[in-house]
Structure 1
Amino acid sequence: MKKREKVSIAIAAYNGEKYIYKQLRSILDQLKDEDEIVISLDPSTDRTEEIIENMNDKRIRVIDGPGKGLIKNFENAIKNTRNDVIFLSDQDDVWETDKVETVLNAINGYDLILHDALITDKNLKVIEDSVFKKRTPALSFKKNVIKNCFMGCCMAFRENLKKDILPFPAKIPMHDQWIGLVALKKGRVRIVSKPLILYRRHGNNESNMNHASIPQMIRWRIDLLNALKERGLV
């Protein structure tokens, strides 16, 4: 029987006191002693750090965030992971109880997993039963440059991708799209249609990309293509 791979969870945290306890609890309940949660904590003005410390769990490792925004914060968390399979997690979602097991089974023979999610309101009431119905997943590199289907909170990837995705280019619009595109070029990507998290939608986590102007979206794609070209991926 194949030995279970060790898991790292990379979290970028900032002023997350409202939801982070429930999020961490839903993850910790699925982890083994050899697994880890790496939290890159940008300088915060609330009780986020205190809440994490009070959980008193040796599997949680908090590191100082760079204070340069979400993308750099995630880069810092990923860089400091140590284990075989790296999961990305936002600070406000809740994981289904079988997420880790399902992903570890699915990733056998693959380099990155993208799974579905339930969309909820801030109180975790389900308002839509699938993210994939809004962002149809595709394994086409070209399609994901034009319209990204990769969501970080629904992704896990192998440690061997770190050397290709890091450091994140300075002008990429989002880290999850970058990771997904690199994985499509450098490895094998698998889509899992089962919802494995409750994706909490509230005012603080709505992406600026959903409200961008057409010129801005064009600029982002040019920057993304330039970054891919610099890494020899296009």
Structure 2
Amino acid sequence: MIRISVCMATYNGELFLKNQLSSILCQLGGNDEIIVSDDGSVDDTISIINSFSDSRIKVFFNKNRHGPVGNFENALEHSSGEYIFLADQDDIWLSEKVDTIYELLLDYDLVLTDCEVTDHLYNTLTPSFFTYRRSHNGFWANIYRNSYMGCCMAFRRDVLRYALPFPKRIHMHDWWIGLLVEAKGRVVFYNKPLIKYVRHGSNASPTGGIGFGFKEQLANRFWLLLNLAQRLLV
């Protein structure tokens, strides 16, 4: 049985992918897996993955909608592990991440950890995202100011029963998953950074950078709440 599935969405990730995969693989056991969903990369992303020659890495090409939401959905659909870790292609996992989160998942349905925000050279910009964001758990608190970043999340497989499929009109998958577990399960915020969250100017998410306009923020929350109500009332 697969113990841990690391689900990673890739798209033209050649600059940082090798370091990220190296930081993950050394923490996994022989019965773990990395599920990579690639969204049509035209750089050396696939060549870099293949260069590891590691049977724990399994690559699937995204045939869902393009972009992070559909790409992560494809990865999750191909996962088989008891515990699911989400991973971006351009971060660095600190050495104690897997062991720490695994122990927490014995008691909780979802774990969200703090992270250290860095630039593309891994120089620290913000030592604690939680402090910067004033993060804490709570459904309405995270509707107002979302702290659920996928790269810092892991959850039990049971979560997929009610999180998938992703609605067509949600802004981001991680926000959706986090709020669903807030409503239906047990969440813990772990206050120690367990990754270097790399900001390099080409990230798929603006988290920690320039945000969205007011109208777009309202629209995102409207569709999020509507879809949450529909899913939770089933």
TM-score bracket for this pair, using the shorter chain length: over 0.9
Partner of 1:217: 217
Q: Secondary structure at the match of 2:222?
A: helix
Q: How does 1:41-190 map to 2 (within 5 A)?
A: 41-66=38-63, 68-190=66-188
Deviation at 1:6, TM superposition (A): 1.0
Alpha-carbon distance between aligned partners in 2 of 1:70 and 1:112, rounded to the nearest angstrom: 20
SS in 2 for 1:134: helix
One-letter amino acid matched to 1:218: L
Contact in 1 for aligned 2:68/2:204 (Cα 8 Å): no
Counterpart of 1:100 in structure 2: which amino acid?
A: V
Unaligned runs of 5+ in 1: none
Identity %: 42
Q: Is the 8 A contact 1:182 1:233 kept in 2?
A: no
* AA partner of residue 62 (structure 2): G
Partners in 2 of 1:190 and 1:62 — Cα distance?
Answer: 30
Task: Please give the secondary structure, in 2, of the residue aligned with 1:49.
Answer: helix
Q: Distance in 1 between matches of 2:204 and 2:180?
A: 24
**Aligned equivalents of 1:207, 1:85: Cα separation in 2:** 24
- Relative to structure 1, is the Cα distance of residues 136 and 77 closer, same or farther in structure 2, using a 3 angstrom cutoff? same
Q: How many residues align?
A: 231
Larger mean Cα displacement after TM superposition, 158-167 or 208-217: 208-217
Give CA deviations for 1:108-166 in whole Å, capped at 9, x if unaligned: 21100000111111011112210101222222111111211111000000000001100
Corresponding position of 2:229: 229
SS in 2 for 1:161: helix
1:190 is paired with a residue of what secondary structure? strand
Q: Is the CA contact (8 Å cut-off) linking 2:126 and 2:132 kept in structure 1?
A: no
Please state how far the C-alpha of 1:215 moved relative to its aligned partner. 1.1
Give the structure-2-normalised TM-score.
0.95
Q: What amino acid is aligned across from residue 165 of structure 1 in structure 2? A: A
1:40-74 residue CA offsets vs partner (Å, 9 max, x unmatched): 01111100001101110000000011361111000
Query: Structure 1's 144 and 164: CA in aligned 2 closer, same or farther, altered over 3 A?
Result: same
SS of 1:63's equivalent in the other structure is strand
CA distance in 1, matches of 2:52, 2:170: 35
Q: What is the rounded CA distance, in whole Å, between the counterparts of 2:212 and 2:220 in structure 1? A: 10
Three-state SS of the structure 2 residue aligned to 1:40 is strand
2:2–2:33 Cα contact (<8 Å) kept: no
* CA deviation vs aligned residue, 1:74-111 (integer Å, no higher than 9, x gap): 01101111011100000000000110000011122110
Q: Does the 8 A contact of 1:107 with 1:190 survive in 2?
A: no
Query: What 5-or-longer segments of structure 2 have no aligned partner?
Result: none
What SS is found at the alignment partner of 1:88?
strand
- C-alpha root-mean-square deviation of aligned residues, in Å? 1.6
Q: Does 1:10 align with 2:7?
A: yes
| 8 Å contact from structure 2 (residues 33, 58) kept in 1 | yes
> Is contact 1:115-1:194 (8 Å) kept?
yes
Contact 1:185 1:233 in 2 (8 A): no
- AA aligned to 1:62 is V
